[in-house]
């Protein structure tokens, strides 16, 4: 059984996709042992509670400084001994100490085809605004390992999504979620649980 921690900040539709993939048996060898959010209002926490999953908030505002927050965040993860940490719309920088401790065991979903439209400050709806502003005809989503950078870790999976005439950032975001994010994130977790994701020279080979 692969125990995973899912880290969230918002609505939790990617978390829901993971929950649904476990319920359907697609991810029968995976168990979400804790959901962690920096935002106590995140609906993702409600999704966790509705499914009997331990849901905790670790918010920067509750700590005197960033170092104390970082320690508390790492403790909240360590306590449940995950084999994999999944960032599903988590908007807080992962502490360096945590990246090192869980090297190649933290994955992130980003709503573009990295290396396009990613990096510091490029997240959520902004990604789709940039894609439309550039006029790309194809965008999509990426699952990648988390390293010390922002959206710079080895790419695990990507899925393309067409951009259509008249798309607004909101319409495009929804299509990318439905057609790409909610598919490749559960699939990447399944492959990881089966030991099929091989890292060689910072490149991913999926067996
Ligand atoms: C998703 O678009 C994801 O790609 C990005 O943040 C958003 C989170 O949405 N990292 P949700 O909370 O999973 O609904």
CATH of domain 109-207: 3.40.50.170
Give me ligand 1 centre to Cα 182, in Å.
Answer: 10
Closest ligand 1 atom to residue 88 Cα is: 13
pLDDT on residue 143 = 98
Q: Supply the pLDDT for residue 136.
A: 98
Q: What is the mean pLDDT of each run of 10 residues along the chain (207 residues)?
A: 98 98 98 98 98 98 98 98 98 96 98 97 97 98 97 98 98 98 98 98 96
CATH architecture of 1-102: 3-Layer(aba) Sandwich (3.40)
Distance CA 110, CA 150 (A): 10
Q: How many angstroms does the Cα of residue 43 sit away from the middle of ligand 1?
A: 12
- What pLDDT sits at residue 173? 98
Q: Closest ligand 1 atom to the C-alpha of 42? A: 12
C-alpha pair distances (Å), 16 with each of 33, 77, 83, 165:
14, 20, 20, 29
CB 27 near ligand 1, within 6 Å = no
Best probe residue, ligand 1, of 9, 13, 121, 185 (max atoms within 8 Å of C-beta):
13
- Which residue lies with its CA nearest to atom 11 of ligand 1? 12
Give the Cα separation of 167 and 133 in Å (integer): 11
**Those residues with Cβ within 8 angstroms of residue 100's Cβ, 6 or more apart along the chain or in another chain:** none
Query: Does the pTM of the predicted model rise above 0.95?
Result: yes
Does the CB atom of residue 111 touch ligand 1 within 6 A? yes
Q: Where in the chain is the domain with CATH 3.40.50.170?
A: 1-102, 109-207
Residue 90 CA: nearest ligand 1 atom is: 10
pLDDT given for residue 74 in this prediction: 98
- Ligand 1 lined by 12 (C-beta under 6 Å): yes
- Report pLDDT for 163: 98
- 194 Cα–ligand 1 center, Å: 25
């Amino acid at each position: 059984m692969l125990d995973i921690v899912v880290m969230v900040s918002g609505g939790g539709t990617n978390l829901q996709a993971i929950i649904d993939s476990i319920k359907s048996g697609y991810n029968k060898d995976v168990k979400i042992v804790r959901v962690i959010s920096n935002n106590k209002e995140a609906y993702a926490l409600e999704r966790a509670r509705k499914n009997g999953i331990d849901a905790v908030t670790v918010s920067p505002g509750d700590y005197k400084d960033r170092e104390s927050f970082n320690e508390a965040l790492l403790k909240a993860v360590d306590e449940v001994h995950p084999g994999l940490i999944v960032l599903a719309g988590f908007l807080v920088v992962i502490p360096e100490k945590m990246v090192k401790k869980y090297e190649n065991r933290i994955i992130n979903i980003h709503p573009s085809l990295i290396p396009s439209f990613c990096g510091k400050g490029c997240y959520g709806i902004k990604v789709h605004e940039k894609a439309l502003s550039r006029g790309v005809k194809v965008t999509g989503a990426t699952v990648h390992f988390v390293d010390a950078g922002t959206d710079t870790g080895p790419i695990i999976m990507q899925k393309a999504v067409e951009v259509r005439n008249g798309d607004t950032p909101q319409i495009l975001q929804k299509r990318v979620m439905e057609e790409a994010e909610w598919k490749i994130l559960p699939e990447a977790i399944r492959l990881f649980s089966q030991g099929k994701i091989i890292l060689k020279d910072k490149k991913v080979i999926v067996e």
